[in-house]
Amino acid sequence: MQILNTILTVILVLLSLGLITVVTMQTPKSEGFGSVTNTPSSNFRGKAGYDDMLSGYTRTIAILWFVTGFALAILNEVLVR
């Protein structure tokens, strides 16, 4: 059981790093003061397909991160008993 705990911990750390990487690669939805004045630069980002792909990756990694963390918490409860 301790090996499974270690494996899940490593997976959780890797998913955390992946989630941080994918989130930082996305372009912000409001790019500074231009969004307040509604300038054309804020309306045409030019990376809609790329951002949609990264958004899907973010969603998938976040779900896997939550499931792995939940499984790790349950496993730790079992190991304590």
* Residue 69 pLDDT greater than 80, yes or no: yes
Domain locations in the chain as residue ranges:
2-80
9 — pLDDT class (breaks 50, 70, 90)? very high
Run of H or E including 12: helix 2-25
> Which one, of 24, 26, 12, lies nearest residue 64 by Cα?
12
Question: 31-67, pLDDT tens digit by residue?
Answer: 655 555 555 555 555 567 888 999 999 999 999 999 9
pLDDT > 60? residue 27: yes
Task: Quickly state the pLDDT bin for 21 (edges 50, 70, 90).
Answer: very high
Under the banding of pLDDT at 50, 70 and 90, the label for residue 3 is very high
Supply 22's token pair.
């994918």
